[in-house]
Amino acid sequence: MKNYDSIEHVRGESLFVDDQLTPIGTLLGYVACSPIAHGRIKNIDMTKALNIKGVKAILTAKDIPGENQIGGIIKDEELLADKEVHFVGQPIAFVVADNQIIAHEAAELIEYDFEKLPVITDPRKAAEAGELIQPPRTFKLGNTDEAFAKCDFVFEGKVESGGQEHLYLETQGAFAYPVEGGGVKIFSSTQGPTAVQRVTARILGIPMHKVEVDVLRIGGGFGGKEDQASPWAALAALGAKILNKPVKLILPRQQDMKITGKRHPYSSDFKIGLNKEGEILAYEAVFYQNAGAAADLSTAVLERTLFHCTNSYFIPNVKATAYCCRTNLPPNTAFRGFGGPQGMFVIESAIAKAAEEMGMSTVEIQKKNLLDEGDEFPYGQRIEHCRIRRCFTELEKKYNLYDIKKRVDDFNSSNKMYKKGFAVMPVTFGISFTSTFMNQASALVHIYTDGSISISTAAVEMGQGVNEKIRAVAQKVFSVNSERIKIETTNTTRVANTSPTAASKAADLNGYATQKACEILLGRLKKVAAKELNIEQHNNISIQQEIIFNKDEKTDLTFDKLIQIAYFDRISLSAQAHHATPHIHFDKTKEKGQPFAYHAYGVGIVEATVDCIRGTYKIDSVKVIHDFGKSLHPVIDKGQAEGGIIQGIGWMTMEEVLYNEEGQLLTNALSTYKIPDIHFSPDDIQVHFLEDAPNPYGPFNSKAIGEPPLMYGIAAYFAIRNAMKKFKAECDIEFKAPMTPERVLLSLYQKTTVLKPAN
Ligand code: MTE
Ligand code: HPA
Ligand code: MOS
């Protein structure tokens, strides 16, 4: 099962936005950004910048013909700052020049006069100051006050999780050129072509039908291009429209890191109540989300934190409250897991604390409280086809946890300075966009007269292999060679009103739409074949590997011939279909409903060895049983799991986003922001497919895979923590991720572990 893109990727022949052939005379852009985190713009002096040879224009808020507004959920974000700036890196002006070097040079020469305003970077301080993007939301089940009174044990604590840089290989960018009639055509590196189209139309003050957006593929998104690809496309389009020239804007890596949003850091409080047996009777959590300076997708991300605040456990009494806090940082955005990982880290910390205090094993508490069929989540949905216990059992069958514990204990008793630890992480992740209306997609399928097939959908290929899955769906319906099938670029004129490729839902939604459109065509073809073969019952016709069958009998008719006949018979060889996920709904006034079509399940074990002299560590192994459903493409799915796991481990261990108190990013390059590389990655990663697990709610019984495996990475934090406890049992280790080597060292050897970044 090859991936059609592999060969071109390896040879470096695959095209990304910056590789598109551009006409002679294409201009290059550079974004001039705010150097301060909060202030009033008193004056902008562009004289020196405009004097540079090769500068064609410097555009500011005043040059925007439409509405200077890019906010998706809440209209609270300007494309170019007009009167005030709210974070370091907020775009103020767009320089367009003969080349990028000139544009950059000119941008550096723009002089600003600001009246500085106070800067807030901490979400709890923002909440205290009343800087909330929306009123707090609370999910409730049962009655926690009554339940806590009956608990044998009650524990409280604080949990912090850090941000995460997307570090997609292809930085943000777009290429736009003016088209006849006052419109623009845009090539964008986006997960959301319709978002780009909508924002650009609003900025330019033209109808959406005058903006065409095309996406061939993107060099990774990880959520960072769900909403935040739009401003760069809108700027390129603005330049193209005003100057009547093609304009390209590619963010240099350091600027991309500095000015775009990341995973949301959270600061949270928990209170957990258990009985002597380790059953969790009550759980409360308060989440302070660091949203940054504008809403972006923060409110939706926060909602998913609430949905996943009890992870894979049934807890009868829950109260979880979430604050969306406005700070003077770049607006944070979607990142694989979409708030789910942040919620899960808190409950896992609460369980770890309870286990430590009660002298029970964490795994025992985890196991005792796993979800069972029909259990109710705090948001009202009852779990169906629950497979979390099955995954746990399968994992224990494959890897005896007692043996692992014994091996780790043996190592620890014979090593003084090196200590090992392991942790188990169950994951239950809801599949569907949490905003019900977004769960729709469509497909447009053409069969050309030579029998080759063209498929357009709303899905964007970003390395996750969605094109291969759509190809597999079409191939299953038609039963033809997959070489016949081409997956086209994602284009707003062929498929309109697209939801972004996100929420792990692209293959489900677009796969179903493709299946439907192909089935429409197959139905027509069967009728043509029946007529040609003089058979009354067209339902008896089938295609089996390119050959037309009547019942089980082979006929002389091939797919090629059938297409020819259909064409001369004037039968349409094109079909369009729309799919909307059935039965989902959510009522925000009650905070109850059935938001998810189904859940993804799995359990992972992570083992780590800590060098307790140096604070460094190695992740030894990751072992996972995951419910992939009936995979449409096992190679791709396994790759998604492995990639997600490493990204999750990175978030929990070494990836540290640091801003100083003035809101300046300190980790703006790969020298200061470390991500797992091949040397850090565990030598032993074993991802097993839960067997015999068809998913009735996915195309051909498949299951979404993009995000859920990231959360196995959470076990890396606890594996390291458990190893540290073996070195120093009384050591007070904060529930604070990432657990960088510095933090390991300071926790082991110092009382206070607060790291203050140097300015
Ligand atoms: N895999 C690769 N290689 N590159 C990516 O950018 N994004 C992830 C995941 N896997 C991503 C990836 C995220 S955040 C999501 S939501 C899903 O892919 C989206 O694609 P899907 O819906 O087709 O799973
Ligand atoms: N995931 C990703 N993007 C989204 C979601 C979601 O659940 N809801 C709204 N946008
Ligand atoms: Mo993924 S965070 O939903 O793009």
Say how far apart CA 577 and CA 140 lie, in whole Å: 39
Ligand 1: centre distance to CA 502 (Å):
7
Helix (H) / strand (E) containing 478: helix 466-478
Kindly state the average pLDDT of the residues 233-260. Answer: 98
Q: Is the preceding peptide bond at 694 cis, omega within 30 degrees of 0?
A: no
Say how far apart CA 564 and CA 360 lie, in whole Å: 71
Say how far apart CA 109 and CA 99 lie, in whole Å: 16
Answer whether 212's CB lies under 8 Å from 200's CB.
Answer: no
pLDDT greater than 70 at residue 759? no
Average predicted confidence (pLDDT) for the chain: 97
Say how far apart CA 744 and CA 738 lie, in whole Å: 10
Nearest to 448 by CA among 476, 493, 480, 470: 480
Nearest to 432 by CA among 704, 658, 625: 704
pLDDT confidence of residue 3? 77
Q: Is 707 known to be catalytic?
A: yes
3-state helix, strand, coil in the chain (%, to 5): 30, 25, 40
Going by alpha carbons, the residue nearest to atom 6 of ligand 2 is 433
Q: Which residue out of 336, 499, 711 has the highest number of ligand 1 atoms within 8 Å of its CB and is therefore the one to mutate? A: 336
**Using a 6 Å cutoff on CB, does residue 433 contact ligand 2?**
yes
**Using a 6 Å cutoff on CB, does residue 306 contact ligand 2?**
no
Ligand nearest to the CA of 191: 3
pLDDT greater than 60 at residue 409? yes
How far does CA 8 lie from the centroid of its chain?
25
Mean pLDDT is lowest, of 66-70, 402-406, 417-421, 755-759, for 755-759
pLDDT greater than 50 at residue 456? yes
Answer whether 218's CB lies under 8 Å from 466's CB.
Answer: no
Q: Tokens standing for 57?
A: 């224009």
Helices 193-204, 230-243: axis angle to 10 degrees equals 40
Instruction: Report pLDDT digits (tens) over 242-251.
Output: 999 999 999 9
- CB-based contacts of 376: which residues, under 8 Å, 6+ apart? 141, 314, 382, 383
Helix (H, G, I), strand (E, B) or coil at 145: helix
| Maximum C-alpha span of the chain | 87
Residue 223 phi/psi, 5° resolution?
100, -25
- CB-based contacts of 729: which residues, under 8 Å, 6+ apart? none
pLDDT greater than 60 at residue 1? no
Strands, E assignment, 597-739? 598-611, 617-626, 684-689, 735-737
Q: Tokens standing for 654?
A: 């070494």
Helix (H) / strand (E) containing 44: strand 39-45
Answer whether 408's CB lies under 8 Å from 421's CB.
Answer: yes
Q: Tokens standing for 56?
A: 């064609």
How far does CA 421 lie from the centroid of its chain?
29
Instruction: Report pLDDT digits (tens) over 173-232.
Output: 999 999 999 999 999 999 999 999 999 999 999 999 999 999 999 999 999 999 999 999
Say how far apart CA 257 and CA 259 lie, in whole Å: 6
Kindly state the average pLDDT of the residues 257-277. Answer: 98
Contacts 24+ apart (CB under 8 A), 726-729: 726/412, 726/419, 726/420, 726/421, 727/417, 727/419, 727/610, 727/612, 728/612
Q: Name the one residue in this structure whose structure tokens are 């996750």.
A: 464
Say how far apart CA 465 and CA 224 lie, in whole Å: 18
pLDDT confidence of residue 394? 98
Edge-to-edge strand ranges of the sheet holding 440-447 = 485-487, 453-457, 440-447, 574-580
**Using a 6 Å cutoff on CB, does residue 431 contact ligand 2?**
no
- Ligand 1 atom at shortest distance from the alpha carbon of 168: 6
Q: Where do the domains of the chain lie, and which CATH numbers do they carry?
A: 4-118+166-258 (3.90.1170.50), 120-158+269-369 (3.30.365.10), 390-432+596-759 (3.30.365.10), 440-580 (3.30.365.10)
Ligand nearest to the CA of 305: 2
Q: Name the one residue in this structure whose structure tokens are 């006050």.
A: 145
Identify the bridge partners of residue 281 per DSSP, sorted by sequence position.
none
Say how far apart CA 471 and CA 142 lie, in whole Å: 46
Kindly state the average pLDDT of the residues 334-356. Answer: 99
How far does CA 79 lie from the centroid of its chain?
23
Annotated catalytic residue within 131, 170, 303, 707: 707
Q: Name the one residue in this structure whose structure tokens are 């923002």.
A: 126
Helix (H) / strand (E) containing 564: helix 559-568
- Ligand 3 atom at shortest distance from the alpha carbon of 191: 4
Ligand nearest to the CA of 168: 1
Say how far apart CA 309 and CA 16 lie, in whole Å: 38
Nearest to 52 by CA among 113, 108, 112: 108
Ligand 2: centre distance to CA 703 (Å):
17
Instruction: Report pLDDT digits (tens) over 549-592.
Output: 999 999 999 999 999 999 999 999 999 999 999 999 999 999 99
Ligand 1: centre distance to CA 431 (Å):
13
Answer whether 17's CB lies under 8 Å from 189's CB.
Answer: yes
Say how far apart CA 9 and CA 440 lie, in whole Å: 30
Q: Pocket residues for ligand 1 (CB within 6 Å)?
A: 220-223, 336, 462-464, 466, 501-507, 640, 643, 706-707
pLDDT confidence of residue 188? 98
Say how far apart CA 222 and CA 365 lie, in whole Å: 32
Q: What one-character DSSP code corresponds to residue 649?
A: H
Q: What one-character DSSP code corresponds to residue 553?
A: E
Instruction: Report pLDDT digits (tens) over 648-691.
Output: 999 999 999 999 999 999 999 999 999 999 999 999 999 999 99
- CB-based contacts of 249: which residues, under 8 Å, 6+ apart? 28, 29, 30, 31, 94, 173, 174, 175, 232, 235, 236, 239
Q: Please report which confidence band the pLDDT of residue 753 belongs to, taking 50, 70 and 90 as the band edges.
A: very low
pLDDT confidence of residue 756? 55
What are the b/e assignments for 668-698, b being 16+ CB within 10 Å?
beeeebbbbeeebbbeebebbbbeebebebb
Answer whether 210's CB lies under 8 Å from 176's CB.
Answer: no
pLDDT greater than 70 at residue 752? no
**How many other C-beta atoms are found inside a 10 Å radius of the C-beta of residue 539?**
12
Say how far apart CA 597 and CA 359 lie, in whole Å: 39
- C-alpha distances out from residue 80 to 273, 366, 390, Å: 49, 49, 52
